[in-house]
Structure 1
Amino acid sequence: MAPSGDADHEQLLEWVERVATFCNEAWGLAPITGRILGWLLICAPPEQSAGDIADAIGASRASLTSNMRLLTSIGLVRRHTRAGERTAYYRIEDDAFEKVVRQRLAAFAAFGAIAEEGLKLGVADEARTRRIRSAQQSIALLTEPGRAH
């Protein structure tokens, strides 16, 4: 289903393709994953079936399956069914990106703790501890308040 508004469908698909290119180049995701994400960011209604998504972005339903699983597993897309229906619907929650960023920051913080343990191993080789220290400092930039400036 095409989103309502002033933009025509071709313009919307061009924007979806820009999202796909970004997701591929910056995050290493398959272009179809980026297309799904882009479409779900602008579609109306915000809940779409796999068939709706496939039709909108010109993909086969079979190609959507693993990509929808990926997007739901990382928390960007939520899958649900409606009472009395067998069709699954997908949507991006308004705070999905905030949740994903918070999850990733928590994961970085957890790795920061592991890096701290690595520094306590007593490795005498400065080159080896330099790599751990570099990882720890980079993580601190992301996870410690006031360090990101």
Structure 2
Amino acid sequence: MSNQDNQDDVLRWVERVATFCVEEWALPPITGRILGLLMICDPPERSAGEIAEAIQASRASLTSNMRFLATIGLIRKVRVPGDRTTYYRIEDDAWHKVVQRKLDGLSAFDDIADEGMALASGNGLDAQRIRSAQRALTWLRDIAAHNPLQP
């Protein structure tokens, strides 16, 4: 396989990651492309310019998405001694953080459901819909509690 073939395969995979991030988490495609590239690149660090070139993104769009990913703790800046360029790499526990945030959100729904049940006042269809959502999310939260993620 030629280097170009491998590069094309990598970019197709990066695009699949981007599609997943768009469909599952409603993230912009560029955010998913950044994550995909930083997961598969070797060495694991890339400069903003290298990332922009690889995923064919504008520097302006890239900068705001890199800032977002750094703020939520999925990527970090890396400095190389003697090199003035800032590099970025995906955090080793990035996916653990993503999943943990989702699980934390499930717990937050309990309070919302309790408030909804008080508003629904009883056993009507509205209360049944709220109770159904609460049972499903509690079930998922309980599964995660019995099978904790390891970073």
Which bin holds the TM-score, normalised by the shorter protein? 0.7 to 0.9
Among candidates 17, 20, 23, match of residue 21 of structure 2: 23
Among candidates 94, 102, 111, match of residue 92 of structure 2: 94
Q: CA RMSD in A?
A: 2.8
What amino acid does structure 2 have at the position aligned with 1:91? R
1:116 aligns with: 114
C-alpha separation between the residues in 1 aligned to 2:145 and 2:39? 31
C-alpha separation between the residues in 1 aligned to 2:144 and 2:17? 31
| Gap runs ≥5 in structure 1 | none
1:71 aligns with: 69
- 8 Å contact from structure 1 (residues 79, 91) kept in 2: yes
What percent of counterpart residues are identical?
A: 55
Q: What are the superposed Cα offsets for residues 69-103 of structure 1, whole Å, 9 maximum, x if unpaired? A: 33223332223445676643321122210122112
Task: Give TM-score scaled by structure 1 length.
Answer: 0.78
User: Number of aligned pairs?
Assistant: 143
SS at match of 1:59: coil
C-alpha separation between the residues in 2 aligned to 1:146 and 1:104? 11
What amino acid does structure 1 have at the position aligned with 2:34? I
| Gap runs ≥5 in structure 2 | 147-151
Relative to structure 1, the CA distance from residue 147 to residue 67 in structure 2 (aligned partners, 3 Å threshold; closer, same or farther) is closer
C-alpha separation between the residues in 1 aligned to 2:100 and 2:57? 31
Report how far residue 25 of structure 1 moved. 2.5
C-alpha separation between the residues in 1 aligned to 2:48 and 2:104? 31
What amino acid does structure 2 have at the position aligned with 1:40? L
SS at match of 1:145: helix
What amino acid does structure 2 have at the position aligned with 1:67? N
Task: Give TM-score scaled by structure 2 length.
Answer: 0.77
Point out the more displaced range, 113-122 or 18-27. 113-122
Report how far residue 141 of structure 1 moved. 1.9
1:38 aligns with: 36
SS at match of 2:42: coil
1:145 aligns with: 143
2:149 aligns with: none
SS at match of 1:89: strand
What amino acid does structure 1 have at the position aligned with 2:92? D
